[in-house]
């Protein structure tokens, strides 16, 4: 099913298509994505005192990120369903900058990369933190969601340091 279109997700007639990865060999793939959500001083105090109306946002966000990562092909139209072998979700609070950072790492032994799975997991972790904290703070800002690194496949990638 080769196409002469220079765009991998379109056929020669300009129609969207899922790339054929059937001829590729499976190899270890890993990707890490990261993003953050800025919170108010009041929200930070509520986190520190464990006095949040909806409870601990971090464990709910961790489960949401894992669930979303596994469902990436249902959300991103041309992603292949993958057999993921590991998903790691870290949520850290930087009290000085009042940022909660989500870092999601995904691994698989597959024919295509897991970058989108890591990015979707990170995004949903942050959205879940927002949902869990919105009773206290509607001013939160989600930002800087990006791929930090990916290994496996034709090339590896490491993002430059954030500005």
List the catalytic residues: 131
Q: 72 in helix, strand or coil?
A: helix
Q: 130 in helix, strand or coil?
A: helix
CB 142 within 8 A of CB 37: yes
Dihedral of alpha carbons 124, 125, 126, 131, sign: positive
Give, in order, the Cα–Cα distances in Å from 161 to each of 78, 132, 144, 149. Answer: 29, 30, 12, 11
């Amino acid at each position: 099913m080769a196409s002469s279109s220079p765009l991998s997700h379109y056929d020669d007639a300009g129609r969207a298509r899922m790339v054929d990865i059937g001829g590729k060999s499976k190899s270890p793939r890993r990707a890490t994505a990261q993003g953050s959500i800025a919170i108010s001083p009041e929200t930070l105090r509520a986190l520190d005192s464990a006095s949040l109306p909806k409870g601990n946002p971090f464990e709910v966000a961790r489960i949401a990120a894992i669930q979303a990562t596994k469902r990436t092909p249902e959300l991103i139209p041309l992603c292949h369903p993958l057999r993921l072998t590991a998903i790691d979700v870290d949520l850290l609070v930087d009290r000085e900058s009042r940022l909660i950072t989500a870092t999601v790492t995904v691994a698989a032994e597959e024919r295509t990369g897991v970058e989108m799975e890591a990015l979707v997991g990170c995004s949903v972790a942050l959205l879940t933190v927002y949902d869990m904290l919105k009773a206290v703070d509607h001013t939160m800002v989600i930002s800087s969601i990006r791929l930090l690194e990916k290994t496996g496949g034709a090339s590896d990638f490491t993002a430059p340091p954030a500005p």
